[in-house]
Structure 1
Amino acid sequence: MTSLEELAKKLNVSRATLDRVIHDRPGVKKETKELILKRINEIGYKPNSAGKALALQKKLNFGIILSSDLTPEDNTLFSLILEGMQLCIERLQNRGVNFIIRRMTTGRAEDQVKAIDEFIKMGVTGIAICPEGERKKEIPAAVQRAREKGIIVTCYFNHIEADFNYFVGSDSAKEGRVAVDLLEKFMHGAGEVALFSGFLHNTVHQTRIASAVSKIHEYDNLRIVANVSGNYTENIAYNSCLEIIRNHPDVKGIIASCGGIAGIVTALKECNQFDKVKVIFFDFTTKAEIFVMEGLVDALIGVDLIKLGYCTIKSLYELAIYGFANEIETTMPMLVKTKESL
């Protein structure tokens, strides 16, 4: 097994610098740290994780904060993420690793902050969190408190500005741009477009739609006639879609990143618009995939949510054992699903 001294020689850096990078300690410039981690990944260096875990005498404890699914029960996203987390947890438990899951039910930032502070008091090794809630300033402060105690904090799916060790998720802005390019082709290059998003404080929803707006403006023959937020329930989304169709009967395209997608589908059904309107949704929930298979939605854009959950737990473990995580595994590849691919 390659020692730190041998690895430092291969990388042409001092052992002290390498030690700081691997254990995420201060004193190394960000650019230098990123370059060293990249080269470590390229070399394929990994310490003896089983031996180190044994040396820790089963002291690895991780706190998992699972965000709330405030959308209809049959369109849940975090249940799929949890499924992936549990797959990884089962594989790590025989290495003496303990996991404590706190499932949120309110969508309030203060409840997540309470969970973080609870984990800090427990002295956990690491915390995984998908930030939610309008009072976002409280979460970065709680993350900072955890980091000051030497706790690893990984952010998954929904990203905000905070001092996280790592982010496991996708490029939401890219997803929004791809949705527009795809819709433009479905619409044969011209027509009116309506946009739907969910919670204002959901970074993923808002980033996708904001990116879509910018991309639409690059096309001369696409025009936004509505951009409605807050569509987190079927009833709200249903009423939003009905109003748009009544006010803009010539709408030819819909892009929606929200929880109430079934409401949009119901409204389009009632108005007999499916032959006329092309529809793109985000996230591979069970309900969304059924809509695609039934021909009610033209395409879905998102990531493998089960894999995202799995890699969230895996990255926490790797950060605790190695000091770095596999960047390839934590950057979720964007996927597009259509009726033919399901």
Structure 2
Amino acid sequence: MAKRTAVKRKGQAAKAGDGPNPRQPCPCGSGKRYKACHGVAGGVVDVPVARPFDGLAAECELVALREFVPSATAPLPLTVSAEREITLATVLPMAAAALVRSDGSVFVGMQVQTRSSDISRDLARAIRWALDAELGAVLPVVGPETADPDAATPDIERLQDLIDPNLQLEPELHTDFSWWIPADTEATGDVAMSLERANSAIMPTERLAPGAYWVDAGEKAHLRWTRAEPEERLLPALARLSARGELDLGEGSRYAGSFRAHGLLVPVWDLDRESHPREWTQPATELGERLETALASLEQEPLSGAERRARDGLIGRQITIR
């Protein structure tokens, strides 16, 4: 009886083979098998995605905009048909997930509250919402309930499905949040209060290189550099520079540590805040070149004892924020 049942089930599974293979990775990109994700009875399982922007050339910029760039916007051209232009923003009034202005322009926020464990899917949900929302509409929070149950496209879209994977973001940094308000419009009520609070808390920030930002944190300035290399390659390369005394940006700087954010490592350097941020552009470029050389050398030359000790020290100065 058991054998017959097994044969029967196998035949039924093969007959229903128009959909995804239950044992194959789910097409949503979660990393789980389809049968444990979107193929589960009753809908989607909220599977944590450790590296939500993996596969995108703009990954480092997206992580930076999500985590520590205070006020910035960037056009986000879509690969799907859309009548509205999308602008990606670090944060919107009241930390909204998206809004549609009266002129039809759309802003989608990065620093938002979410109700799922995949930021990439939430961004896709917010974009899809904004493309069809009424003028003047605001999406306060994004999550599974944002998806349209009657939509022709199932709720497995991610940002990777809506933009060119080779897209390079070029964020425009702002000194305040005045861009929240359209020209010839005055902020009132909650928006005015939110604008005042945001402007008072903003930290001066400048972009020195892709993924690399100078930030004035008050008592000191920092360079926060989001790197795309896997941590198991990046740390040995940083250790190699550290052992050689080459892991700084020159006088007035020192390596402070690193933090993990959305699957990437973000090394941080303390900088003399009396220096103009542009004075660090060339030193950062030279540091990047040294780091690339160190990464390449790992293929032929294993870490020495001193470099391994340096790596252990760098690991001790890591934290994870996402």
**TM-score bracket, shorter-length normalisation:** under 0.3
TM-score using structure 1 length: 0.25
Q: Which has the higher helix share?
A: 1
